[in-house]
């Protein structure tokens, strides 16, 4: 593979991620192909820049004139989106370069991924054009999502315009789109999401280098299948983690033993073992799947940057005490028992019988008023050992109260008050509170409960409170945070 | 042997079309990089045996030693805890017979110690030279309790990779045995990484076992694969 073009100035990246004028080459008037699809998506998400459409047939799309060639575009452009047939890509890319574009994303497929001589030759041609001075995302990708500029991936008309700290780069386009959507659902805010597909020019290392210095990016998440240059990637990773967290999901890890080797060392050093060690050596956070990556990003972006070794767990749910202690230990977190005096004061607030004032605090009754929970959390935060509190909600039980009183579940569930109280206690004590919203009532009979949970989640997220679906997810994410900040020098 | 001589040794082995160095050669290379190995003498002629026994002292270990033999134990080419000359002579003859005329017998100091570690080098297709540390001896393959670091290693990397294995407590003072000399262990790991960085011709290295003789680590067996 030819090397990437050696230098890209920050100004070029600024024009790639925040372009003022873009060209979409390869829009069809019939149907929603990639070109027309991205045009509509950009309009729907509210991209404010100028868009120039190109198709040799001309005409117009939703009232927007279609130019017959890139050369016909009347102004210089910053960025191009290319969705023409593979064979036409090199020429179009060169025309975009001559039109002043700093970069282009190429949705088209039909290149190296085919493994054919023609596909490989075409991709090499793209690399040669890129080396003349236009940076390329793709080919065979879904492009860039940047909430601040309004660029969006294909298909991403419904992504958020709220900018935030999370940058994500992904070889897989589907993964990029899913991550952007999953992130939106749980309250992650993105600086940039890049699906780079075949990654013939810009890919993992170049993007990591950019994200390291990007003031919009507070943490980097990556989905990696293969990498171009192990040494360069490792160096970039190490330098980046010294400044901000990097969370890596490496796909396609194989056990050792594929290669013909003679030593124990080589036979045990499969990609699984080596990647795990390399990521640890560079102090990157390794996650096993997208769910874990979303959760880790949530913890890294919402919790203050430090370690959390001693926590409280308050609330209810099956076998809370035992389960919580076991789980916490496996992620290197402690749930220290309260001193008798503190336990006594908490006990005075708890409903009887069935509650337990130690740590975890089992409130036993799901209808304990937020006011009481607030007082308990305030007392528990007074234990100087405690770094963070986890509240495990039992909101689904309000369905029973709704049925008994004949009122809608949203009217009887005090989630807004709870969100306000939790926010207040966390702010006043300086000890973050994480909320577990798990809903066992999620079937077709309980769509009102599901709906209420959506609102409750939003209420917490809007107040900056991290919400996880399961206690295990939260503890694992906190474990990642601890591992990173402990080893960051 | 100094580093230049060690490089020469590897070059010669490659020119002869060999894929591995003998244990004796491998240890000389390792020693040239300052890695502690057993004291040993290679005896190819029965007449030289007495001098070797004198130099090493009883009890000692005798092993068949040739470039292309691995799995010496399985091939019954290892005798341990030899305590006298008659026993040594008998062992010499048996081992030589098992070697079919290739190579010689390594007369080696016997390292007493119940804690066995493994160290090594592999070349990952993506990340290049990587150093391994883990539990050694028969546990290496059974437990696979190992960790890797990309070379070159900083001291911090070496210390941390020892802590990464599940059985890291084996390095602490345990059952009357002293805490391992982790400073020397770290040096060994760093130097294995240096060999990987400095000698492209070295494809793989195994030091298995590295035995803790009290606190002191010693490479008791070694394999170097050349490319």
Which comes out higher in pLDDT, residue A280 or A7?
A280
Do A119 and A133 belong together in one domain? yes
**Containing domain of residue A231, as a range?**
10-299
Please give the structure tokens belonging to residue A77.
Answer: 């452009």
Prior bond to B70 cis, omega within 30? Answer: no
Does residue A364 have a pLDDT over 90? no
pLDDT, tens only, A267-319: 888 888 999 999 999 999 999 999 999 999 999 999 999 999 999 999 876 56
Confidence at residue A316, expressed as pLDDT on a 0 to 100 scale: 78
- High-pLDDT (> 90) share of chain A, %: 83
Task: Check whether A432 has a pLDDT greater than 90.
Answer: yes
| pLDDT bracket for residue A10 (50, 70, 90) | low
Give the pair of three-digit tokens for residue A369.
């008023």
Note whether A286 and A280 are within 8 A (CB): yes
pLDDT of residue A266: 84
Q: What confidence tier does A29 reach under pLDDT thresholds 50, 70, 90?
A: confident
- Asked whether residue A418 falls in the same domain as residue A375, the answer is yes
**Residue appearing with tokens 């474990």:** A479
Do B140 and B163 sit in the same domain of this protein? yes
Tell me: pLDDT of B205 over 60.
yes
In degrees, rounded to 5, the angle at the alpha carbon of residue B55 between the alpha carbons of residues B52 and B59 is 85
Phi then psi for residue A334, to 5 deg, are -105, 150
Residue A2 has pLDDT above 80, yes or no: no
Task: Pick the residue from chain B with its C-alpha nearest to A279.
Answer: B149
Do A310 and A412 share a structural domain? Answer: yes
Q: Which of B80, B109, B138 is the last residue of a domain?
A: B109
Distance from C-alpha of A424 to C-alpha of A460, rounded to nearest angstrom: 12
CB-CB under 8 Å, B150 with A277:
yes
Q: Which of A299, A326, A345 is the last residue of a domain?
A: A299
Q: Do the chains contact at A281 and B149, CB–CB below 8 Å?
A: yes
**pLDDT tens-digit readout, B159-178:** 999 999 999 999 999 989 99
Do B165 and B80 fall into the same domain?
no
Q: Decide if A79 is inside a domain.
A: yes
Domain carrying residue B178: 115-226
* Whole-number pLDDT of residue B71: 66
Section A483-489 average pLDDT = 90
A1 — pLDDT class (breaks 50, 70, 90): very low
User: Could you tell me how far CA A324 lies from the centroid of its own chain?
Assistant: 26
Chain A residues touching B130 at Cβ < 8 A: 269, 274, 277-278
Whether B105 and B125 map to the same domain: the answer is no
Q: Please indicate, yes or no, whether residues A323 and A383 belong to a single structural domain of this protein.
A: yes
Q: Do the Cβ atoms of A262 and B19 come within 8 Å?
A: yes
User: Is there a single domain that holds both residue A248 and residue A393?
Assistant: no
CB B206 within 8 A of CB A265: yes
**Residue where one domain finishes, among candidates B109, B130, B159:** B109
Which runs of E-coded beta strand occur in A149-212?
A: 163-170, 190-195
How far out from the chain centre does Cα B12 lie? 20
In this structure, what DSSP letter does residue A61 have?
E
Q: Which residues of B109-120 are buried (b: 16+ CB within 10 A; e: fewer)?
A: bbbebebbbbbb
The model's pLDDT over A111-141, given as tens digits with 9 standing for 90+, comes to 999 999 999 999 999 999 999 999 999 999 9
Question: Average pLDDT over chain A, rounded to whole?
Answer: 92
Where is the domain boundary, A278, A299, A320? A299
Q: How far apart are CA A159 and CA A44, in angstroms?
A: 10
> CB neighbours (10 Å) of residue B182?
16
Distance CA B13, CA B25 (A): 10
Give how many domains chain B has, as a whole number.
Answer: 2
What are φ and ψ of residue A205, in 5° steps?
Answer: -75, -45
| Confidence label for A7 from pLDDT (cuts 50, 70 and 90) | low
> Is the pLDDT at A63 greater than 70, yes or no?
yes
Alpha-carbon distance of A139 to A155, in angstroms, equals 16
pLDDT for A32: 79
Mean pLDDT of A1-26: 78
A334 and A237 share a domain?
no
Total number of residues shown for chain B: 227
**Residue A397: what are its φ and ψ, rounded to 5°?**
-65, -20
Nearest by CB to A262, which of B20, B157, B208? B20
How many Å apart are CA A26 and CA A38, to the nearest integer? 11
> Average pLDDT in the A325-329 region?
87
Structure confidence at residue A259 (pLDDT): 57
Distance CA A441, CA A394 (A): 11
Average pLDDT over residues B53-77: 86
| pLDDT range class, residue A21, cuts 50, 70, 90 | very high
Question: Are B34 and B137 found together in one domain?
Answer: no
What's the average model confidence in pLDDT over A243-259? 80
Same domain, B88 and B41: yes
Question: Same structural domain for residues B124 and B79?
Answer: no
Predicted confidence at residue A258, as pLDDT, reads 54
A338 with A287, same domain: the answer is no
Of the candidates A252, A263, A259, the residue with the CA atom closest to the CA atom of residue A227: A252
Task: Tell me the C-alpha distance between A373 and A379, whole Å.
Answer: 10
Percentage, residues of chain A above pLDDT 70? 95
Phi, psi of A74 (to 5 degrees): -75, -15
Of B118, B126, B206, the CB nearest to A230: B126
Q: Is the pLDDT of residue A322 over 50?
A: yes
**Cβ(B70)–Cβ(A262) under 8 Å?**
yes
**Residue finishing a domain among B109, B129, B158:** B109
Question: Which domain-ending residue is among A267, A283, A299?
Answer: A299
CB-based contact A337:A354 (threshold 8 Å): no
CATH number of residue B138's parent domain: 3.30.470.20
Interface residues from chain A to B (CB-CB < 8 Å) = 226-227, 230-231, 234, 259, 261-266, 268-269, 271, 273-274, 277-278, 280-281
- Could you give the number of structural domains in chain A? 2
Q: Nearest CA to CA, how far is A293 from chain B (Å)? A: 23
Task: Tell me which residue has tokens 């039980």.
Answer: A397
- Which of B150, B164, B208 is closest, CB to CB, to A264? B208
ipTM of the complex in this document: 0.91
C-alpha distances out from residue A99 to A66, A80, A102, A484, Å: 16, 10, 9, 44
The lowest-confidence range among A212-226, B68-82, B188-202 is B68-82
> Which tops the pLDDT comparison, A292 or A12?
A292
Q: What is the mean pLDDT of residues A200-207?
A: 96
């Amino acid at each position: 593979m030819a090397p990437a073009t050696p230098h890209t100035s920050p100004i070029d990246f600024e024009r790639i991620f925040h372009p003022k004028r873009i060209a979409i080459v390869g829009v069809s008037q019939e149907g929603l192909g990639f070109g027309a699809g991205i045009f509509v998506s950009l309009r729907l998400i509210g991209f404010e820049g100028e868009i120039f459409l190109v198709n040799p047939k001309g005409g117009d799309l939703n009232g927007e004139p279609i130019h017959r060639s890139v050369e016909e575009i009347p102004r210089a452009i910053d960025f191009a989106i290319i969705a023409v047939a593979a064979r036409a890509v090199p020429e179009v890319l060169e025309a975009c370069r001559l039109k002043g574009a700093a970069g282009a994303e190429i949705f088209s497929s039909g290149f190296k991924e085919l493994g054919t001589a023609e596909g490989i030759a075409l991709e090499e041609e793209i690399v040669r054009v890129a080396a003349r001075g236009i940076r390329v995302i793709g080919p065979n990708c879904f492009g860039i999502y940047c909430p601040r500029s309004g660029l969006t991936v294909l298909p991403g008309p419904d992504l958020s315009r709220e900018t935030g700290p999370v940058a994500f780069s992904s070889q897989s386009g589907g993964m990029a789109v899913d991550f952007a959507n999953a992130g939106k659902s749980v309250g992650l805010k993105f600086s940039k999401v890049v699906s780079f597909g075949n990654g013939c020019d810009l890919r993992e290392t170049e993007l990591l280098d950019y994200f390291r210095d990007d003031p919009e990016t507070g943490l980097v998440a990556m989905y990696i299948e293969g990498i171009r240059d192990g040494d360069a990637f490792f160096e970039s990773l190490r330098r980046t983690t010294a400044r901000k967290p990097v969370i890596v999901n490496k796909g396609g890890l194989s056990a050792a033993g594929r290669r013909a080797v003679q030593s124990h060392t080589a036979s045990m050093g499969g990609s699984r073992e080596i990647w795990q060690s390399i990521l640890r050596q560079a102090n990157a956070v390794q996650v096993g799947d997208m769910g874990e990556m979303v959760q880790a990003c949530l913890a890294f972006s919402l919790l203050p940057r430090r370690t959390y070794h001693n926590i409280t767990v308050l609330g209810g749910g099956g076998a809370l005490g035992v389960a919580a202690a076991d789980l916490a230990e496996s992620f290197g977190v402690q749930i220290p028992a309260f001193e008798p005096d503190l336990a006594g004061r908490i006990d005075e607030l708890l409903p009887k019988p069935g509650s337990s004032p130690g740590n975890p605090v089992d409130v036993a009754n799901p209808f304990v008023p937020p006011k009481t929970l607030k007082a308990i959390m305030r007392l528990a935060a007074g234990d100087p050992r405690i770094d963070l509190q986890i509240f495990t909600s039992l909101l689904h039980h309000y369905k029973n109260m709704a049925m008994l009183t004949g009122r809608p579940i949203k009217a009887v569930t005090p989630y807004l008050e709870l969100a306000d109280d939790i926010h207040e206690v966390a702010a006043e004590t300086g000890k973050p509170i994480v909320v577990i919203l798990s809903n066992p009532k999620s079937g077709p009979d309980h769509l009102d409960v599901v709906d209420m949970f959506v609102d409750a989640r939003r209420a917490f997220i809007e107040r900056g409170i991290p919400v996880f679906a399961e206690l295990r997810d939260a503890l694992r994410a906190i474990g990642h945070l601890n591992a990173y900040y402990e080893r960051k020098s | 042997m100094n580093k230049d001589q060690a490089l020469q040794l590897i070059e010669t082995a490659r020119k002869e079309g060999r894929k591995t160095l003998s244990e004796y050669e491998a240890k000389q290379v390792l020693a040239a990089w300052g890695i502690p190995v057993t004291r040993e003498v290679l005896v190819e002629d029965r007449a030289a045996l007495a001098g070797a026994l004198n130099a090493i002292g009883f009890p000692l270990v005798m092993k068949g030693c040739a470039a292309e033999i691995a799995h010496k134990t399985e091939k019954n080419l290892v005798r341990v805890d030899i305590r006298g000359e008659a026993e040594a002579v008998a062992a010499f003859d048996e081992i030589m017979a098992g070697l079919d005329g290739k190579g010689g017998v390594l007369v080696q100091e016997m390292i007493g110690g119940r804690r066995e570690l493994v160290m090594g080098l592999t070349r990952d297709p993506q990340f290049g030279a990587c150093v391994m540390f883990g539990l050694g001896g028969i546990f290496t393959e059974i437990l696979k309790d190992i960790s890797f670091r990309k070379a070159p290693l900083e001291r911090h990397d070496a210390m941390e990779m020892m802590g990464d294995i599940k059985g890291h407590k084996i390095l602490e003072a345990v059952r009357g045995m002293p805490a391992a000399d982790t400073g020397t262990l770290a040096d060994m790991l760093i130097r294995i990484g240096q060999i990987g960085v400095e000698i492209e011709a070295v494809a793989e290295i195994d030091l298995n076992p590295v035995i803790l003789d009290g606190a002191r680590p010693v490479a008791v067996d070694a394999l170097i694969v050349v490319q």
